[in-house]
Structure 1
């Protein structure tokens, strides 16, 4: 599975030491992950490992061995069940000490999972707690258990009048944007339901998320499609931005372009599309 992940079209891969590994296999799985980080070709991908949570007896071994044995080939670690800013600050400080001991020349980034009620309550201060933080992920499975949400409602239910996850998603994206952190939508576990996955990915993209987890190879292409700007979107953004620059040079701040009112607020929105286009080489 790790080899398939390395060969996939995903632009970020996390290898899992937490939920995917039985307690009796934690030590051996850690060794397999360290070996995979060294031996597989991860070109073009962010290399991440999800460690066990801070309350687990496996957490300290996960982090210390990863930094000591794979720190040079590891981009980020993912910390699950983060609940307070102090959780993130502790991991930041620990990584700093381990990096110094290992003689690493660069910092390892942190990604966090918001999947407990205290974590969502504190997400604003959590996202401001460490300069190492690169991404925050909404994990709806564990969060549902934490809030005691009915299992039948996790992916929508006809008896619930609205989007069950809108508040949590919106709150997480705002916290991320305020602190320069990437916002990532969590998993969709009905692996054969690609239409449902696409719907969730599109909703997340509309809200401002930067990406969505893919649990199965079939979900990767859908996520890339929904979170990447289309050629038409890029063309339109460049056309309108160019027209705005031309009008601005003549002292005009707002104008009509093919029936569309263009002002600095619209151009600011279009810059997000252009930033993605530059990132993707479009």
Structure 2
């Protein structure tokens, strides 16, 4: 069984692959994860040149501990096949993951998995390239359980609410906002995707919030995603990086307290006890399991 790399995805920064300036700034940013975009951010006439620029940026800049990802065009286009080939042949030793767009079925993941396996063998790449997939079509959400389990190369699913709203036929107002709805219009979709991810043992990431100047609503969307089990959210502007990190980074005091509780329980368990009370808090095996995600994230961060 393949053991997947553990990566921080508190914030995934979107960067146009056609802009050398923006890619250089992204490499120096505080984002955990940067995806260099070949899809929506790049006009059709610029896609071939953007591939070249992305390869050069990946090979040239110091990306530190960031996850370096490339978002390819969807498989229904004439660009996707060449996207994968040129990125892997040009920067396969330094790229961490490829992000697939508009994934509709497990077959889409199979295709990319097989092509990557062939390229890795051809070029002698020892480090496996991971996959991430956007769920942004009705068909993709209907097949999300199968997609999440399609390959052990798949590391994360991302909810793309923009294209998903179009796919659903959701009424969009002239100002770009969805029609009034009593509650979170995306609650079910987020919940369903997160549940599929957890069952498959992969990460769930919440997608973009378009009004990048609205800090309050962006933070609210981050908190909704966190509450449902998302590990992070997209940033479409560098200003959103700090906001996402503030929500998806555990509080240091909370982490220290959880570690004390976990240590106390481990000691008690070694003595044959099944549940203990620590500082007025009942701790048992279920408690330790609930603490796990927070403590694992803290370990990845280095807290």
User: Normalised by the size of structure 1, how large is the TM-score?
Assistant: 0.95
CA RMSD of aligned residues (A): 1.6
In 2, are the aligned partners of 1:111 and 1:135 still within 8 Å (CA)? yes
The 5-angstrom pairing of residues 22-171 of structure 1 reads: 22-152=43-173, 159-171=180-192
* Cα offsets for 1:215-274 (capped at 9, x unmatched): 111111111111111111112201221222233234332233333332211121112222
Determine the structure 2 residue equivalent to 1:15. 36
Give, in angstroms, the shift of residue 156 of structure 1.
6.3
The answer to whether structure 1 residue 218 and structure 2 residue 221 are counterparts is no
Residue 10 of structure 2 aligns with which residue?
none
Q: Residue by residue, what CA displacement relative to the aligned partner does 1:4-60 show, whole Å, maximum 9, x if unpaired?
A: 111100011000000001111111111111111111111111111001100110111
User: Which runs of 5 or more residues in structure 2 are unaligned?
Assistant: 1-21
Which structure is higher in RCO with an 8 Å CA cutoff and minimum separation 6?
Answer: 2
Offset, 1:100: 1.7
Say how many residue pairs are matched.
281
8 A contact 1:134–1:182 mirrored in 2: yes
> Normalising by the residue count of structure 2, what TM-score does the alignment of the two structures yield?
0.89
| Structural mapping, 1:200-279, within 5 Å | 200-279=221-300
User: Counterparts of 2:150 and 2:258 in 1: how far apart (Å)?
Assistant: 35
Contact 1:156–1:163 (8 Å) recurs in 2: no
The answer (yes or no) to whether the contact 2:172–2:178 under 8 Å persists in 1 is: no
